[in-house]
Amino acid sequence: MQKNDDESKLTEAVIARLSADADPRFRRVMQSLIRHVHDFVREVELTEDEWFEAIKFLTATGQKCDDKRQEFIMLSDVLGVSMLVDAINHRSAEGTTETTVLGPFFVHGAPEIENGGDMAAGWDGEPTCVSGQVRATDGTPLAGALLDLWQSNSEGNYDVQLADTGGRQLRAKLHADAEGRFRVRTILPTSYPVPTDGPMGKVLERMGRHPMRPAHLHFMVSAPGYETVVTHLFVKGDPYLDSDVVFGVKDSLIVDFKRSESASEAQKLGLQAPFYRASYDFVLRPAGAARRLAARSARDAA
Ligand SMILES: [Fe+2]
């Protein structure tokens, strides 16, 4: 039996047990994971109590998750891992709309509304209209592009955080028109704290960090043959733009939600004055562009 009582040899011993027949990418990821976790434990000289605290923390994080609550995504978000994955996977995406975190509150099955429809019917808040166009990187309008939107209510809660909202609320799917143009009526998003009643919230507090996210509206924009863009539009002037708890803000995603008191303009949009109006164009690149760029850079590096 192989003995591994020398801490310096343990890391290589664990890596050596990886089967040569394992999937190459899986081997690569596991080798690196083992090396970094071992280095981390050595670097901080983890005590047995701390190790057990970590086990309890991860257990509690998993136990907090269900079909409406995703504590692991929040953990990844507040540690900046989600935005790091986002950055790595959208290198060389110049000319396209910048991406940001999916976040823990996306759910499938948002109701379909007509282009120009109201995704916040029955909800109190500042009337708002968001419009724009979906285009390809070469400028071609993407007719019929699908926009999936979700947001919190004016108190900062998503439908999945509320006791009973009678199904999907403040969420909508709509198709852009033949020129890629879209328009949606809603309420002005507000800044909100990520839920802190779970294990992630306790760690956030111990780190001395606030839990706030600047006001934003979530978008997932897709069209056949193009890479889907998952992003937010942030409300210009929000006090948390510089300290988003999940590090998700990018300058190009900060949008002026302009206030208007024009009753006639409001009426044209199906809103009541005063209201807010924002416009933003989404730009998607052809599917596979990231893979082709990665293959080219791998060839260049070889
Ligand atoms: Fe959000």
pTM equals 0.88
pLDDT value, residue 202: 95
pLDDT value, residue 2: 54
Residues sharing a CB contact under 8 Å with residue 280, sequence separation 6 or more, in sequence order: 130, 132, 233, 255
pLDDT value, residue 288: 81
Rounded CA-CA distance 82/219 in Å is 17
Q: Give how far the C-alpha of residue 45 lies from the chain's centroid of Cα atoms, to the nearest Å.
A: 34
pLDDT value, residue 29: 96
Query: Residue written as tokens 């600047």?
Result: 214
Q: Which residues of the chain have pLDDT under 70?
A: 1-5, 92, 289-302
Q: Is 250 exposed, middle or buried (0-12, 13-18, 19+ CB in 10 A)?
A: middle
Separation of CA 156 and ligand 1 centre (Å):
9
Separation of CA 234 and ligand 1 centre (Å):
10
pLDDT value, residue 1: 43
Separation of CA 187 and ligand 1 centre (Å):
14
Separation of CA 110 and ligand 1 centre (Å):
15
Separation of CA 174 and ligand 1 centre (Å):
19
pLDDT value, residue 298: 56
pLDDT value, residue 301: 52
Q: Where are the domains of the chain?
A: 7-46, 81-291
Rounded CA-CA distance 273/280 in Å is 21
Residues sharing a CB contact under 8 Å with residue 109, sequence separation 6 or more, in sequence order: 168
Separation of CA 201 and ligand 1 centre (Å):
16
The model's pLDDT over 188-241, given as tens digits with 9 standing for 90+, comes to: 999 999 999 999 999 999 999 999 999 999 999 999 999 999 999 999 999 999
Q: Which CATH class is domain 81-291?
A: mainly beta
pLDDT value, residue 93: 74
Query: Residue written as tokens 């303009």?
Result: 265
Q: Which residues line ion ligand 1, judged by CB < 5 Å?
A: 103
